[in-house]
Every structure is written in C-alpha cells, then in structure tokens.
Chain A
Amino acid sequence: MSQSNSPEHDELDDRLMDQALREVLGGERPPDLSEKILAAAADRVMVAPRQKEPVMNKPKSLRRIAIAAVCTAMCIFLAMLITSAMVARYSFRLTEVFPRDPSPQTLPAPYYLRDGVDFFPSTAAPSPEGRGPGQAGDRYERVTENPFRLVKNQPLSTFSIDVDTASYANVRRFLLSDGRMPPPDAVRIEDLVNYFDYDYAGPKNNCPFAANIEVAACPWNEGHRLVRIGLKGREIENAERPASNLVFLLDVSGSMDSPDKLPLLVQAMKLLVAQLRETDRVAIVVYASSEGVVLPSTPGSEPGRILAALDSLHAGGSTAGGAGIDLAYRLAQENFIRGGANRVILCTDGDFNVGVTSEAALERMVEDRAKSGVFLSVLGFGRGNLNDAMMERISNKGNGNYAYIDGLTEARKVLVQQAGGTLVTIAKDVKLQVEFNPSQVAAYRLIGYENRILAAEDFNDDKKDAGEIGAGHTVTAYYELIPPGAERGLPDVDPLRYQTNEQPRHDAGTHRELLTLKIRYKDPESASSERLEFTAMDEGKSFDRASLDFRFAAAVASFGMLLRDSQNNGTATYDSVLEIASSAKGQDLHGYRSEFLEMIRRAKALAGR
C-alpha cells in the first residue's frame, strides 16, 4: 500500500480499494463454490495423483521448472477433468454406504459443476408474499403493534422473553440481497434488536442471568422517555459447555432443491460439526415423502462419518414433517444425556406441515417433548416457501430458538460464534413483569414482543410456557413512556359503576421509583420457578448521554418501526436513525453494525425518503 512509492504499487493499491468498495458498497461478494468444488473433488479422493503439483515451499525456480514440465500434461489432464466431471454430473456417487438416486432430475445442478456465473437458479423468485391462492409463498403472521396503555388502568405489563433473530436475517436478505422492502409483517422488532450483542454486565452469583435497566429521553418523541431492559445470560466457554445430544431433522423435500436451501444447510452443518467435541453426539434424520435415519447417533470424534452423511443428502419428494419429527425425538430420547443439551434441530424452508399432521397436533407434540427435556430449535432457509409464523411458533413451544440462515456468515454467527447460546439453555420459561409507578408514568408501550404478551396472572403460573435464554445470550426490550400530564388524547375507559379504582400509594420510599421489574425463570431441568426483582429510577438523562448500546439498540428499534410503517414513528426518519446508529456504533468486531448502517441506507433508497 502506500508504504511503497512505486507507481505500480500505487495503482495496485487503488485496484484493491476499488475491489473492496465493489464488495462493501456494491454487494459483489465471492460466490460460495464449496459444494461444486467438493462434489467434483470427492470422486478424486480415492484416486492417486495423476500429476504432481509443485510442493509447498520448494524454491521458486524449481516450482517454475515443475510447472513447465507438467504444462503439456496439464492440458491433457484438464480435458480428462472436464470429461470426467461431465460424467460425474450424471452418475456422481460419493459412497456406496449412502447411495443416491442417479436420476438427473433429482440431482440439483448447483451441487456439481458450473451451471453459469450466477450461483442461484435463473428461475424468477416467487413473491415474498406468496404466488396466489392455493400456491406456495412466504407466510408471515400479522403483527398488531402494542398500543400505549394507561398505567391507572393497566399498571402491569407482562411478557415472555424471546431470543430469536430470524426476522433480522430475513429483513437483511430483503434489503441487501433482493433489493426490496420487506413486508411489514416480516419485521419483528425484538428480533432486530436482539440480533446484536450488547455489553451488559453478566451475573455475579449463581443466578443464570443479570438484568440491566437504563432510562433516557426518547429520540423520536420529545417529552417521552425510553426504558431499556437488558438481560445477559451466563457465558459458557465451548470447552465447558455440557455434552450435546443433537438430532438434526432435515427437510430434503423438493422445495429444498435450491442453492440457498439444502446446499447452504449442508455447509452450515459442516461448520457446526467442526465445533463438536468427543462427548457430543449427532444424528441426522431426513424427511420428505418418507422419513429416514441418514446417520444414527454418532460421537463428535467421528467427523468423517458425519460429513459423509451430510454429503449423501439430496432433495426430492413432498414434505411430511410429522413422521420425521417423531423419529427425531425418538432418537434424541434413546441417546438422552442427563445434564446435557438434548435438542432436535429442525432445518427447513418451512413447508413443514403438508400431509396428515395438523399444526395444533404438532405444537402439542413439541410442547410435550420439551417437558421431557428434549428442546427444539428451528433453522429457516430460503425464500418462496418460508412459513415464518409456524417456525417461530413451534420453536417457542419446543423451548428453543428460531434463526434464519441467509448465508454462511449467518450460519457461522448462529452455529459457531453463538454455539453456546444456540445449544445450551441456561434458563427456561423466563417471564418479565413490569409494574409502573403511576406517579412517574402515565402511559407505556412495549416496543415489539407482540406475540409474547402474557396475562398478568400468567406471571405466577408455572404451568404457563415462556421463552428460554441460552448461554451468553442478551435479551433487550424497550418501553416508551409518557410522563404524567402528557397522556392527553389516549383512549380511556369509563369509571366503574360497582367499585372504585385504586388510588396511588403515597409512600416516601417508593414515590420516586419509575418501575419495578420482576423476573421469573426455571432452571432447565426444574418444574418450579425462581423470582427476581429490580427497581429503576429515572434520573432525567438525555438521549445523548445514554450509553452507546442504549442508543444503538434504540436506533435499531426505530428502524424496525419505520420498516413496519408504525403509527408510533414520531419524528424518526431513516436519516435520523442512520445518524444515531452511526454515532453509537462503538466497537464492531464482526462488522454486523456496519452492515446494519448499510441496511438503513438501502431502505432509505428503496423507500425514496
């Protein structure tokens, strides 16, 4: 770079910067050629080298001589390579142990050799909202935004935690890969906010998590206040995490025959296999027209067997998840590790419930199995068939989490960087209940978590299911508050005819408190809950003086509201969100926050404002 003053070096430095800008701003990314390379190479593993390449670290002159010597042979060899590769396209068999259907119709072209510059098939992508009545399409559940609640009528706000991040990855794919705005119902604000790690203090005692509360001015509504509740789960190093008994339930139905589905899934799993230890066990069950065990429960000390099983997979047939999930749970129970992480991981594009199994029956089954200690996580893949709503629901019922894998980077985040959180549950049925002090707060609104709202009495009911928190997970929730006197215009209820409303208690000790946060949780193997309680005061902090994480996460929440076209956007614009997020980006070790800034810019350009 500029250490060298020669014009050649300057020009090359410029060329490198040009290439990097094309990648960072223009979205030119290296295609994932792994599957193609490995498929073509697999046949050659058992074949002795035909012609030696220059050996590493030999003197340069020797390498040149060697290259010159093999140059003619290389041409012949390349011709042979092309011929044999063409044969491989139609008759590729990785192993006799896992034979494939040799029919070319069942072999998706992207598995094998080059099928064009673009790794994705040239067929038009279906509309994100579906193709029409009776046809497949992405399915999202309608999200009805939480309204402001008057504290005098409803002083308690109760909800279950949620550590899912699927919506963020899906929104990112809409904006950065597809170049279009996501449908509003695809945007779950809590998923967006929880996508990022925040520097919250962890627990200091035996408690599985710590709570962090911060209060500052609301950036999109002058006069309103913003409360952030942040939970931080206990960290567990990969070497210290309990042994895992994982059963992967893989959808290999015809709809998975797309490079961003089954091939990506296989790659994602290979990343996870690299994390396994000898004490971990992995089994693979597939489902399509019929279910089957591709890999019986196998110790992590045999990665070769696991990888071979993964490479034997191919897509074909219609989806019938019900029987597959039954088989997966049976395998998980048979290999149950007491004190370990026992989990079924469902990987699908979401068209899961075709056939005789009703959605309600599936949910009941998953809920029932979770009580026996086998949890369910869901990894969603691809577009055009994504049953987002159902995948989120069954992962909730199964005491697991739901992530959407839109590329290898996301796979690495979920299965490598956050393997502890994804695989190890440190507390289950985590419920939050906030009691607001009417002398400090007139009305409140929980931002996001719309499908996690609980009744006030559910908080103390240990039979009521709620969300789980994994090792090292952070969970963040924001409340927008209206101070007393500013609540005019909010809908109220008539005075009661047969009883009087309770009046605020004027206690000198509690008068200045803003709120009380109560948390209930259960240890993963316990049936009864523990209770924690925290109080918070409002010191009148301005937004600018709030912590970096508070400001960044508030920008993320505000961005989600803009994407949803929320009626509570206030004065927020894409520009104001970008300004806040840029100034509060802080350290960004993995580049996720910078990527978020790109998403804001792209959304602004697409929205034309």
Chain B
Amino acid sequence: MTVATADRYAEMTSVVQMHQAVVWRYLRFLGCNTTEADDLTQETFLKLFRSDFEQRSPRETAAYLRTIARNGLLMARRAARENHLSIDLDAAEAVWSRAAAEDGLDGYLVALRECLEVAVSTRVREALDLHYRDGASRDEIAASLDLAVEGVKTMLRRARTALRDCVERKIGQ
C-alpha cells in the first residue's frame, strides 16, 4: 500500500465512521427494514468511494450520501418491481434536513431523552416503555394500563406530539 493509497484509505475510514450510522438511520426513516438498511448503507459507501468524491464539509458529504442512498433505494425497489415508495421523498428530505442535517440526529436523540423525563407523565411513559421497549401490542398495553384499545392509540399519538414539541423547543427548530 503506497502512502497516497493509505491516506485515501484513512480519509475513507473517517467518512465511514462519521456517516454510516446516519445513513442507516436515514434509510430506516425512508421506510427500509433493518436488513435493507444494512445492505443499502454498505452499497451507498461503496458507490461513494467509486465516485470522484471529494470532501468539502461534513454537511455536504451527508447530503451527497443521502442522495446516493435515496437513489439506491429507488433502484432496489424498481428491481423488486415495486415502482413506488410510500413516502414523498422531497418532503422527507425537508423533514430530515431540519432535524438531522447538523449532527446526524444525535442532538435530536439527546433532546428526546431529556424530554422523556419532563414532557410525559409516568403513566404515559409506562405506555411508551411497553410499546417501544417491550414490543407490547395495543391490546396488551390496554390490558396492562386498564384502558380501552382506542385510548392507547390516542395516548401514544398525543405522547409523540408532546415529545415532538418538546424536542423542537430544545433543538431550536
């Protein structure tokens, strides 16, 4: 390995380490399951390294990676004869850019952890834990919290809204 090659490899390492988790999260946001997100994340970086990519700023690199990932997803869906995505890609890009363009969602997640402590009641927190942590169904949550199933749905929806408001305030969106 020549020094120039090693330097190029060092640059690639740094790009992968900085962005791979973000690309994976972005693909999950676009609707990929975990397997698909794993595959497409790897393909996204391989495509990046085959291109005449040059680093300008982390923000530009992240945007470029999103473009490759998005195109990769479209191609994968077409290959599977699923010619449409259940998501408006332009709107998705706008929402993602606002929430995660600066730090790859890290700030959003930190804010969310804090909001979980202050923005929801103990009972709502219990419902969230049952749903997201324990994978409980609405029926199970309803039985556990002595609520109607429809009430659980409403409770989770309101909780997400309250958390969204809180996160927005914290990250200044």
Taking A2-B165, A16-B99 as known contacts, 8 extra A-B pairs with beta carbons closer than 8 A to each other, sorted by chain A number, are A9-B94, A12-B88, A19-B25, A31-B34, A37-B20, A40-B42, A51-B50, A114-B42
9 interchain pairs, CB-CB under 8 A: A1-B98, A2-B165, A19-B29, A27-B133, A33-B16, A75-B79, A114-B38, A591-B109, A591-B110
- A21-B128, A41-B12, A307-B10 known; A2 vs B42 contact (CB < 8 Å): no
Q: How far is the CA of A585 from the CA of B113 in the complex (A)?
A: 12
Residues A267 and B163 in contact, CB atoms below 8 Å apart: no
Residues A52 and B9 in contact, CB atoms below 8 Å apart: no
- A30-B25, A52-B51 known; A1 vs B46 contact (CB < 8 Å): no
A residues within 8 Å of B by Cβ?
1-4, 6, 8-9, 12-28, 30-34, 36-38, 40-42, 44-46, 49-57, 63, 67, 71, 74-75, 78, 81, 94-97, 114, 117, 267, 270-271, 274, 302-305, 307-308, 311, 408, 582, 585, 588, 590-591, 594-595, 597, 601
Residues A34 and B128 in contact, CB atoms below 8 Å apart: no
Instruction: Kindly identify which residue among B1, B28, B50, B95 contacts A95, using a CB–CB cutoff of 8 Å.
Output: B1
Residues B60 and A57 in contact, CB atoms below 8 Å apart: yes
Residues B6 and A585 in contact, CB atoms below 8 Å apart: no
A-B residue pairs, 4 tightest by C-beta = A304-B6, A53-B51, A594-B113, A30-B21
Q: Which residues of chain A come closer than 8 Å to B51, judged between CB atoms? A: 49, 52-55
- A9-B91, A16-B99, A63-B67 known; A23 vs B109 contact (CB < 8 Å): yes
- A2-B165, A12-B95, A49-B50 known; A270 vs B109 contact (CB < 8 Å): no
Q: How far is the CA of A30 from the CA of B54 in the complex (A)?
A: 25
Residues B49 and A19 in contact, CB atoms below 8 Å apart: no
Instruction: Kindly identify which residue among B8, B28, B38, B67 contacts A33, using a CB–CB cutoff of 8 Å.
Output: B38
Residues A15 and B29 in contact, CB atoms below 8 Å apart: yes
- A17-B160, A20-B109 known; A36 vs B42 contact (CB < 8 Å): yes
Chain B 19-58 near chain A by CB (<8 Å), digits 1 or 0? 0111011001100001100110111011111111110100
Instruction: Kindly identify which residue among B54, B64, B67, B164 contacts A17, using a CB–CB cutoff of 8 Å.
Output: B164
B residues within 8 Å of A by Cβ?
1, 3, 5-10, 12-14, 16-17, 20-22, 24-25, 28-29, 34-35, 38-39, 41-43, 45-54, 56, 60-61, 63-64, 67-68, 71, 75, 79, 87-88, 91-92, 94-96, 98-99, 105, 108-110, 112-114, 116-117, 128-129, 132-133, 135, 157, 160-161, 163-165, 167-168, 173
Q: Which residues of chain A come closer than 8 Å to B38, judged between CB atoms? A: 31, 33, 114, 117
Interface class of chain A by DSSP? helix
Q: Which residues of chain B come closer than 8 Å to A307, judged between CB atoms? A: 6, 9-10, 13
Kindly report which residue of chain B lies nearest to residue A95, judged by CB atoms.
Answer: B1
Q: Which residues of chain B come closer than 8 Å to A270, judged between CB atoms? A: 13, 17
Q: Which residues of chain A come closer than 8 Å to B42, judged between CB atoms? A: 33, 36-37, 40, 114
Residues A52 and B52 in contact, CB atoms below 8 Å apart: yes
Interface class of chain B by DSSP? helix
Residues A24 and B92 in contact, CB atoms below 8 Å apart: no
Kindly report which residue of chain B lies nearest to residue A15, judged by CB atoms.
Answer: B29
- A8-B91, A38-B16, A41-B12 known; A20 vs B112 contact (CB < 8 Å): yes
Kindly report which residue of chain A lies nearest to residue B90, judged by CB atoms.
Answer: A8
Kindly report which residue of chain B lies nearest to residue A64, judged by CB atoms.
Answer: B71
Q: How far is the CA of A57 from the CA of B109 in the complex (A)?
A: 29
Tell me, rounded to whole Å, the shortest Cβ–Cβ distance linking B117 to chain A.
6
Residues B10 and A25 in contact, CB atoms below 8 Å apart: no
Tell me, rounded to whole Å, the shortest Cβ–Cβ distance linking A20 to chain B.
5
Residues A304 and B67 in contact, CB atoms below 8 Å apart: no
Residues A56 and B56 in contact, CB atoms below 8 Å apart: yes
Residues A13 and B45 in contact, CB atoms below 8 Å apart: no
Q: Which residues of chain B come closer than 8 Å to A9, judged between CB atoms? A: 91, 94-95
Q: How far is the CA of A284 from the CA of B28 in the complex (A)?
A: 38
Q: Which residues of chain B come closer than 8 Å to A311, judged between CB atoms? A: 9
Kindly report which residue of chain B lies nearest to residue A6, judged by CB atoms.
Answer: B91
- A585-B117, A595-B113 known; A601 vs B9 contact (CB < 8 Å): no
- A30-B20, A46-B5, A307-B10 known; A14 vs B98 contact (CB < 8 Å): no
Residues A304 and B10 in contact, CB atoms below 8 Å apart: yes
Residues A597 and B117 in contact, CB atoms below 8 Å apart: yes
Residues A26 and B91 in contact, CB atoms below 8 Å apart: no
Q: How far is the CA of A305 from the CA of B60 in the complex (A)?
A: 28
